[in-house]
Amino acid sequence: MSRPQPHKRATVHDIAAAAGMSRGTVSRVLNGGYVSAEARAAIETAMSDLGYVPNNAARALKMRRSQAVAFVALEPHSLFLDDPNIGSIMLGANAALSLADHQMVSLVVESARDTERVARYLSGGFVDGAIVVSARTKDPIIRVISDLSLPAAFVGHPPDLDQNIPFVGIDNVGSARAITEHLATGGRRRIGMIAAALDRDSGIDRLAGFRAALGPLFDADLVADVPHYDYGSGVKGMRDLLERDPSIDGVFAASDAIAAGALEALRDAGRSVPGDVGVVGFDDSTWAVRCQPQLTTVHQPAKEIGSCAAQLILRQLRGEHPDPGGQLLPTPLVLRDSA
Amino acid sequence: MSRPQPHKRATVHDIAAAAGMSRGTVSRVLNGGYVSAEARAAIETAMSDLGYVPNNAARALKMRRSQAVAFVALEPHSLFLDDPNIGSIMLGANAALSLADHQMVSLVVESARDTERVARYLSGGFVDGAIVVSARTKDPIIRVISDLSLPAAFVGHPPDLDQNIPFVGIDNVGSARAITEHLATGGRRRIGMIAAALDRDSGIDRLAGFRAALGPLFDADLVADVPHYDYGSGVKGMRDLLERDPSIDGVFAASDAIAAGALEALRDAGRSVPGDVGVVGFDDSTWAVRCQPQLTTVHQPAKEIGSCAAQLILRQLRGEHPDPGGQLLPTPLVLRDSA
């Protein structure tokens, strides 16, 4: 190769050539072995001239530890564009890993192509563990983690409960039940729900909690089923509910973004909140305080969830075996103006 | 080591031991060399029993290419929690890298501890290049990239214009000028600005464009200076402007989130939008369509910005030398209801 390759990093071989020494001598300098003062000086000059930095990939290989932990966001589109919690979960995980001197690397899985490549990456020795957010049953990434016995932690219920992977999350059923009861004890009689993501545990569990709170008063006609936890789904879901039953006076939205969309639809329909209709959300994300009126909602401790997931990985890297069950963090109700 | 290490991956050594073969024989199987059928069968059984997967870190080391590209978000707190564009930029970059079979790894830099560790990571052979978002002058990460000659691309103006690193961004001055002129030609007479992030090029340039549009009518008293591009800053900035001059009838907010906050402050003060006050934003993020009224704003092509930044890295990896100047993407005005 005679053409210069400007962006290729200098190797031990390059240093040896530049210093006029053998690679073995260079290696001894790098590994702290005995070398004559003269040889050491020549090699250090060559390193400096060539901008040499030791290759940590080599170190990772030798140590069989990369000191890196993956943060895998499945469904990144809705997560990064509609869910303000994901940022907090990421920063919480990063802070905990950082304290333990581990590098968090976030991997986006948006296409089948991504899935395959991320699976290869996870199995390739680049990371010591993986935090997985928003996993679905039978996701190929989960199979890879499971097959590799890669230290892992799920954020939210794991897709297969018989798996040996610990998780951190919240009690979606209990939280949904509590916030729905808040609507009912406030005197609301015709209470509906905008239920989202019914292909996921969080979605299914929030609907189950809503149903449990209403008991015999539950009316399946008052459940609008929308695909995502986003604002647009909230607008559509609320319009749908108003059409089905104009006398509706309470709404549990499965997320704050959905609740914000519902507020828009109610405003368009000339209904006041909380006067005509009480609205409650779920998340206590930035949406909750951006709305008019501000949302009564369920607080999700997003930063703590990220931090706990990181701890679950770090414990496994220390050789501990965390309880494969889940760690459920508390979710207090936050009472604001919307109900 | 007599204690079992459940999460340590099997190595060539482990396979050799389990199969009763030499490491050389195992290596020949892995590298497609000649091995007797009997030995191959024993080794393949051992690999399967031990859940062996080839170590790509080893391959990366040998090839001196990791097929991974870092996406480094400086100021992640404000980016991930307040700026909806960052998600689109990330997904745009990931899609372009994915097509070229490169793994994007996002790295968060929130503390001095993160800075040091990310600098080590970038110099450690784990990535072949780096996309850097929201860089500031004299950031240690920039120095590392520069010292290493790591293929890099900035999103937004690079902190030091004399550096050899290409960037992709938008014309903040021209865009701010155009949206301010829209307010002026709409008949607004007392036009103020909520300027943010004046320690960064984007913030400085948007203020410069505002000033250029107004020419002799520019009044420094009508510029509220807030630290971040977020909603809360918008509420505060607008209150501030109303106090300074209650006759204000036009506002250019340096971001859509700021504009949304300004709408809240105007609502609280009993001013109608666009009746009493015309408000325009910047970004065309999800904020713009969540507001009441929806925002007239500057469209930032976030996904394309991410994709172009990725292309700048991929070109460098192919040995090309992209123009170290910037690539500025078009930013059409989007006319909605707020002005």
Asked if the model's pLDDT at residue A2 lies above 50, the reply is no
Q: What is the pLDDT of residue B58?
A: 53
Q: What is the pLDDT of residue B2?
A: 36
d(CA A263, CA B131): 39
Mean of pLDDT values over A267-283:
96
d(CA B208, CA A246): 51
Nearest chain B Cα to A50, which residue? B148
State the nearest Cα–Cα gap between A76 and chain B, in angstroms: 8
State the nearest Cα–Cα gap between A98 and chain B, in angstroms: 6
The domain limits of chain B are 12-54, 68-169+303-329, 172-298
A172-298 matches A68-170+303-328 in CATH topology: yes
Q: What are the tokens at A308?
A: 């706990």
Tell me the chain B residues in contact with residue A231 when contact means C-beta distances shorter than 8 Å: 286, 290
Mean of pLDDT values over A102-119:
91
Q: What is the pLDDT of residue A285?
A: 87
State the nearest Cα–Cα gap between A67 and chain B, in angstroms: 10
> Which residue of B56, B147, B318 is the best one to mutate when testing the A interface, meaning the one whose CB has the most A CBs within 10 A?
B56
Asked if the model's pLDDT at residue A137 lies above 70, the reply is no
Q: What is the pLDDT of residue B7?
A: 46
A282 to chain B, any CB pair closer than 8 A? The answer is no
State the nearest Cα–Cα gap between A221 and chain B, in angstroms: 28
Q: What are the tokens at A125?
A: 């020795």
State the nearest Cα–Cα gap between A212 and chain B, in angstroms: 32
Cβ pair A61:B58 closer than 8 A: yes
Mean of pLDDT values over A243-253:
97
Tell me the chain B residues in contact with residue A106 when contact means C-beta distances shorter than 8 Å: 71, 105-108
Tell me the chain B residues in contact with residue A103 when contact means C-beta distances shorter than 8 Å: 107, 117-118, 121
Q: What is the pLDDT of residue B216?
A: 94
Mean of pLDDT values over A234-238:
96
Cβ pair A98:B120 closer than 8 A: no
The CATH superfamily assigned to B68-169+303-329 is Response regulator (3.40.50.2300)
Nearest chain B Cα to A294, which residue? B264
Q: What are the tokens at B224?
A: 């509220």
SS3 for A67-120 is CEEEEEEECHHHHHHHCCHHHHHHHHHHHHHHHCCCEEEEEEECCHHHHHHHHH
d(CA A108, CA A80): 10
What ipTM does the predicted assembly reach?
Answer: 0.74
A41 to chain B, any CB pair closer than 8 A? The answer is no
What is the dotted CATH code of the domain comprising A68-170+303-328? 3.40.50.2300
Nearest chain A Cα to B114, which residue? A98
Domain A172-298 has CATH 3.40.50.2300: yes
The β-bridge partners of A328 are A169
Q: Which residue type sits at A110?
A: E
Residue carrying the six token digits 């949302």: A295
Nearest to A303 by CA among A86, A72, A88, A83: A88
State the nearest Cα–Cα gap between A193 and chain B, in angstroms: 21
Cβ pair B91:A104 closer than 8 A: no
Among A64, A82, A260, beta carbon nearest to B8: A64
SS3 B26: helix
d(CA B113, CA B30): 40
Cβ pair A5:B319 closer than 8 A: yes
Q: Are A310 and A69 in contact (CB under 8 A)?
A: yes
> Which residue of A2, A86, A98 is the best one to mutate when testing the B interface, meaning the one whose CB has the most B CBs within 10 A?
A98
> In chain A, which among 170-199 make CB contacts under 8 A with chain B?
none
Residue carrying the six token digits 């794991």: A158
A56 to chain B, any CB pair closer than 8 A? The answer is yes
Who has greater pLDDT, A232 or A127? A127
The pLDDT tens digits of the residues spanning A185-231 come to 999 999 999 999 898 888 999 999 999 999 999 999 999 999 888 88
Q: Are B184 and B214 in contact (CB under 8 A)?
A: yes
Q: What is the pLDDT of residue A88?
A: 87
Q: What is the pLDDT of residue A248?
A: 98
Cβ pair A87:B106 closer than 8 A: no
Q: What are the tokens at B161?
A: 């214009």
Among A91, A292, A316, beta carbon nearest to B76: A91
Asked if the model's pLDDT at residue A182 lies above 50, the reply is yes
Tell me the CA end-to-end span of chain B in Å, nearest whole number.
Answer: 72
Residue ranges, chain B, pLDDT below 70: 1-9, 30-33, 51-64, 76-84, 135-138, 159-163
A68 to chain B, any CB pair closer than 8 A? The answer is yes
d(CA B280, CA B337): 9
Nearest chain B Cα to A68, which residue? B121
Cβ pair B7:A151 closer than 8 A: yes
**Number of other residues whose CB lies within 10 A of the CB of residue B188:** 21
Cβ pair B105:A106 closer than 8 A: yes
Nearest chain B Cα to A48, which residue? B147
Mean of pLDDT values over A121-149:
83
CB pairs under 8 A between A and B: 189
Tell me the chain A residues in contact with residue B120 when contact means C-beta distances shorter than 8 Å: 56
The pLDDT tens digits of the residues spanning A149-159 come to 899 999 987 76
d(CA A105, CA A103): 6
CA distances from B71 to A339, B106, B108 (A): 42, 4, 9
Tell me the chain B residues in contact with residue A10 when contact means C-beta distances shorter than 8 Å: none
Among A81, A95, A126, beta carbon nearest to B56: A126
Q: Which residue type sits at B294?
A: Q
d(CA A58, CA B196): 44
A101 to chain B, any CB pair closer than 8 A? The answer is yes
Percent of chain A at pLDDT > 70 equals 87
Q: What is the pLDDT of residue A81?
A: 64
Cβ pair A94:B108 closer than 8 A: yes
Cβ pair A231:B120 closer than 8 A: no
